[in-house]
A and B are shown apart, each in its own frame.
Chain A
Amino acid sequence: MQSTTLIVVLLALSAAGFYMGRRKAFQVSGNDIRTLNSLPSYYGYYTAMWCGIPALIVFSLWSMLDGRAIMAMATSSIADSGVSAQEMSLVYSEVLRFVSGSTIGEPQPHIVEAVARYRELQDTSNAALIVIVLSIAIAGTAFALGKIRRDQRVRNSVEAGVMVFLIACSTIAIFTTIGIVLSVLFESIRFFQKVSFTDFIFGLEWSPQTAIRSDQVGSTGAFGAIPLFAGTLLISFIAMVVAAPIGLMSAIYLAEYASARLRSYAKPLLEILAGIPTVVYGFFAALVVAPFFRNTGGLIGLDVSSESALAAGLVMGIMVIPFISSLSDDVITAVPQALRDGALGLGATQSETIRRVVIPAALPGIVGGMLLAVSRAIGETMIVVMAAGLSANLTANPLEAVTTVTVQIVTLLVGDQEFDSAKTLAAFALGLMLFLSTLVLNVIALHVVRKYREQYE
């Protein structure tokens, strides 16, 4: 609460700095802004940046570090009395619990003392933070105002500041990705300490139940990932068999044959498919499509299980149609009319023009759309949870129930789980494998697309 107020005050100070800087610029220019190096507002931004940014940096560093420093100081007497590091962390958490008041019961006297000291130090720290941050803000403003001259090149400084900000934003995105990958990686390493890597990669049996108590029977656990990846591939394959032709053909119709009016209605309608929540697709697959397949199969003497890869793959294919059709439609429309005219002018029919000129020219974009659809299909969970089942069959028969990597991750982590058993950690290993396989897929696709581009552009 207090930090929110401080940030609001800082923003207000920066806004004030903006106006002061701009007014100062008007003053030094003698009311003729053409004599200034930059527009007056740049002087304003310059002052505002000097006011806000150093203060904010100090503020965030302080907030990050003060908790630990205060804790160390508050418990220094306990630490000096020769307590081991492990016990110290217990003391830390106990002190924190009492400070936030979330514990009932009488604390031990040395904890009480530490708590009191902690509260006292925290008050001092907060007061110091306010004083320091505000004085840095004011000092920054004064410094910037003092530097404002006619020939001061503030535009360059402001542009550089903006660039640093943009770099920081992209860095956050990159480091988040790296962080997620690393956390998955470390948990997977823990998993591979319990289950051997080759068993996981090449194992043909998936049965992740492990014994919780030592006297439990029959749950030794088998962590062979092949059935899961086979199931994922089977369902994604069925989905792409459904979606790729339908999506591409509808894109060609929309882009090349449909009238502008029809296109303006049909394209948004098609894109609505992408807006349907996958859980809705899921129960559609489980309650309508799968029973339909089972009954139809029964009529012609086929043994179709009530949860089948075919049902899940079909519905998933319908789900990814808009990804393919919408993106392909965009890239086909982007092919220059000059190319079509060239082919038509040579006496090519419309379909020859499309097949031999338009589609090859649009191919990189079409491949991109297909890959987006594939990665959607591989990562899709809800439909498969509901319609494909949980049994890890290693089969290529689309009429049987299969399970996928994502479904198993869900079932491994749903409910109360202990986070050090192989069963739970297996989810991380599966996630890592899934991530790696999508990555490889993307790299291959990028390579193919780039090769194609080099050839033709």
Chain B
Amino acid sequence: MVTAEELAYGMERESVAKGPLEIFEGGGQVVTDRDDRQTVGEPFVDNPRVSARNVNVYYDEKHAIHDVSLDLGENEVLAMIGPSGCGKSTFLRCLNRMNDTVASCRVTGKINFDGEDINSPKIDVVPLRAQVGMVFQKPNPFPKSIYENIAFGARIHGLARHRYELDEIVEGSLQRAGLWDEVKDRLEQPGTGLSGGQQQRLCIARTIAVSPEVILMDEPCSALDPIATAKIEELIDELRKQFTIAIVTHSMQQAARVSQRTAYFHLGDLIEAGDTKTVFTTPRHRLTEDYITGRFG
């Protein structure tokens, strides 16, 4: 649920220009020592969409994620930040079982999506991935036309019985991704011919075309220039009204701009989670403070 405070914060954000960390002022009270790896803050929310409990991930013998418990609330953007190799992408990929494609990867713990354990043998991974969509770090449009890129998901899930229904899905998705006006005259041209930012918005449109409930974004802007990044950030803010979004990012400014809650990962541990404003202005863990003040990262 969105708290009143979050709403107020969101409004405040609207009014302030999209600066980096300056939107938050005031110093924090650091309470937890560097060596303590217990999660501090508020990793849990009321009525979560996705809730992960005691998730451990192993690549062969390597223990990549240690006992992470974190909730993803309805219609919120959760940003996951942390230095490279801290396990934030791995955790994200657990949420729609994309780690199944990595042969050496083993996941333990419980991840509930709408109250059901997604790792249970009863769950079919195909509808799960349709409900929990994913946008990847590098734009990966299929080598097909723009139209076919969007229609792909609708076709494999049988969402449209007639051509006009498919047309509606394609147009609607492109419009929600803010790409319609740029590509409406060249839907038959290859999606790979678009610019990087357009390709990424195409991938987002492709994801929302199958009407997911949760969208996972793995550093969606890291391959893009600042203007394309700004467009995607606007889009994320817009999409929050309909979807629940988890975004991994290397840019703290981006996390501060687009998210309502932030989770800070460090070497496979979830160090701190909570309201974005709180995490950035009054971090409770020494490591979080070190990271957001740029002492390492």
Chain A residues close to B by CB (< 8 Å): 259-260, 336-349, 352, 356-357, 360-361, 455-457
Question: Is the Cβ of B98 less than 8 Å from the Cβ of A343?
Answer: no
Question: Is the Cβ of B207 less than 8 Å from the Cβ of A345?
Answer: yes
Q: Pick from B130, B133, B190: contact of A457, CB below 8 A.
A: B190
Q: Pick from B133, B141, B144, B155: contact of A345, CB below 8 A.
A: B133
Q: Pick from A341, A356, A357: contact of B101, CB below 8 A.
A: A341
Question: Is the Cβ of B140 less than 8 Å from the Cβ of A346?
Answer: no
Q: Pick from B126, B141, B203: contact of A347, CB below 8 A.
A: B126
Question: Is the Cβ of A346 less than 8 Å from the Cβ of B130?
Answer: yes
Contacts of A340 in B (CB 8 A): 101
Bound CA span A356–B153, Å? 11
- Residue ID in chain B nearest A355 by CB atoms: B156
Question: Is the Cβ of A356 less than 8 Å from the Cβ of B136?
Answer: no
Chain B residues close to A by CB (< 8 Å): 96, 98, 101, 103, 126-131, 133-134, 136, 138, 140-144, 152-153, 155-157, 190, 192, 203, 206-207, 210
Given contacts A260-B103, A345-B98, A455-B190, 9 further A-B contacts (CB under 8 A): A336-B140, A338-B138, A341-B134, A342-B142, A346-B129, A347-B128, A348-B153, A360-B142, A456-B144
Q: Pick from A260, A348, A361: contact of B156, CB below 8 A.
A: A348
- Residue ID in chain B nearest A347 by CB atoms: B130
Bound CA span A154–B133, Å? 60
Contacts of A360 in B (CB 8 A): 142-144
Question: Is the Cβ of B210 less than 8 Å from the Cβ of A346?
Answer: yes
Question: Is the Cβ of A347 less than 8 Å from the Cβ of B101?
Answer: no
Question: Is the Cβ of B192 less than 8 Å from the Cβ of A456?
Answer: yes
Contacts of B206 in A (CB 8 A): 342, 346
Question: Is the Cβ of B143 less than 8 Å from the Cβ of A456?
Answer: yes
Known: A341-B101, A352-B156, A360-B143. A346 touches B207 (CB 8 A): yes
Question: Is the Cβ of B152 less than 8 Å from the Cβ of A356?
Answer: yes
A–B complex contacts, Cβ < 8 Å, 16 sampled: A259-B103, A339-B142, A339-B143, A341-B134, A343-B152, A346-B133, A347-B127, A347-B131, A347-B156, A348-B152, A349-B126, A349-B156, A356-B155, A361-B142, A456-B190, A457-B143
Question: Is the Cβ of A339 less than 8 Å from the Cβ of B140?
Answer: yes
Contacts of B144 in A (CB 8 A): 360, 456
Q: Pick from A260, A338, A346, A457: contact of B153, CB below 8 A.
A: A346
Bound CA span A361–B127, Å? 25
Question: Is the Cβ of A347 less than 8 Å from the Cβ of B153?
Answer: yes
Contacts of A347 in B (CB 8 A): 126-131, 153, 156-157, 210
Question: Is the Cβ of A346 less than 8 Å from the Cβ of B190?
Answer: no
Question: Is the Cβ of A342 less than 8 Å from the Cβ of B203?
Answer: yes
Known: A340-B101, A349-B126. A356 touches B156 (CB 8 A): yes
Contacts of B136 in A (CB 8 A): 338, 341-342, 345
Question: Is the Cβ of A345 less than 8 Å from the Cβ of B134?
Answer: yes
Bound CA span A356–B96, Å? 21
Bound CA span A159–B40, Å? 64
Which among A340, A347, A349, A357 has the greatest number of chain B C-beta atoms within 10 A?
A: A347
Question: Is the Cβ of B140 less than 8 Å from the Cβ of A342?
Answer: yes
Q: Pick from B98, B143, B156: contact of A341, CB below 8 A.
A: B98
Bound CA span A352–B129, Å? 14
Contacts of A336 in B (CB 8 A): 140
Bound CA span A113–B203, Å? 90
- Residue ID in chain A nearest B190 by CB atoms: A456
Bound CA span A456–B188, Å? 11
Which among A338, A342, A360 has the greatest number of chain B C-beta atoms within 10 A?
A: A342
